[in-house]
Structure 1
Amino acid sequence: MIIEQILKDKGREVVTLKAGQSLRAAAQLLDERRIGAVVVVGEDDGIVGVLSERDIVRQVARLGAEALDMEVGSAMTRAVVTVEAEEPIRSALQLMTDRRIRHLPVVRNARLTGFVSIGDLVKWKIAETEAEAEAMKSYLSAQF
């Protein structure tokens, strides 16, 4: 199974912010949408970063409440790891584990087409494992 199939199930909506917006606005958006991260886009809508709850918490821990007035561009993760829509899910899971990241922008032809979280991939893995177990039970019950 590939990442594209997860996007077909969960949808392609990607919540984005501009780098000039405040961390306060970002935190409010994350809360409203009940999500853990957003893709930060430039003027051309290209990916320039990812801002997660952890990024905000780090800034608040360093600067206190005044951190909420700083710009997203100052707190975001700039070294964005992306995944192609055709990437096998197992490979994406390995990438996220190796790089210790929880969110991956999905691209096709260098354009943002979706966003997946470790939760999305684990949900798929659990469903796959349950389907395999059910198939094995059916096979064994037919044999005996």
Structure 2
Amino acid sequence: MIVEQILNDKGREVVTLKASITLKDAAMLMDDKKIGAVVALDDDDRIVGVLSERDIVRQFARHGAAALEMQVGSAMTRAVVTVHSTTAIDEALQTMTDRRIRHLPVVHNDRLAGFVSIGDLVKWKIAETEAEAKAMKSYLSAQF
């Protein structure tokens, strides 16, 4: 199974924003869309960062309410870890575990192609495991 299959199922819509907007506006967008992270793009639609709930909370802890007026660019994670659409789900899960991240932008031909969360990957992994168990039961039932 590859990440592309998850995108085919869940869709490729990615909520994006510019790094120049405030954390308050970003938090309101994330709340409205009920998401935990957004991708920041430059004027050429290239990934420049990812802003997660953790990033916002971290800035709020450091700066109090003044953090809400900070720009996304000063709070986002700039060293963005991405996966290719052909990356195996197990490899993407390992990357997320190793890097302690919960969201991964998916790229194809150096362009943003989607966004997956740890929840998306775990859901697919569970479904795959259940399908394998069902197939094994069916096979064993036919043998005996």
What range is the shorter-chain TM-score in? Answer: over 0.9
CA deviations on 1:112-131 (whole Å, 9 max, x unpaired) are 01000010000000000111
1:94 aligned residue: 94
CA distance in 2, matches of 1:15, 1:30: 9
Tell me by how many angstroms 1:43 deviates.
1.1
Say whether 1:4 aligns with 2:40. no
Cα RMSD, aligned residues only:
0.6
Which letter maps to 1:51?
L
Tell me by how many angstroms 1:58 deviates.
0.4
Counting matched residue pairs gives: 144
State TM-score, norm by structure 2.
0.98
1:119 aligned residue: 119
Tell me by how many angstroms 1:66 deviates.
1.2
1:44 aligned residue: 44
Which letter maps to 1:47?
I
2:27 aligned residue: 27
Which letter maps to 1:8?
N
SS at match of 2:112: strand
* Residues 61-80 of structure 1 mapped to structure 2, 5 A cutoff: 61-80=61-80
Tell me by how many angstroms 1:140 deviates.
1.5
Tell me by how many angstroms 1:3 deviates.
0.6
Which letter maps to 2:26?
A
CA distance in 1, matches of 2:40, 2:24: 15
| Unaligned 5+ runs, structure 1 | none
1:16 aligned residue: 16
Following TM superposition, the consecutive aligned residue runs of length 4 or more in structure 1 with deviations greater than 2 angstroms are none
SS at match of 1:96: helix
2:134 aligned residue: 134
State TM-score, norm by structure 1.
0.98
| Unaligned 5+ runs, structure 2 | none
Tell me by how many angstroms 1:137 deviates.
1.1
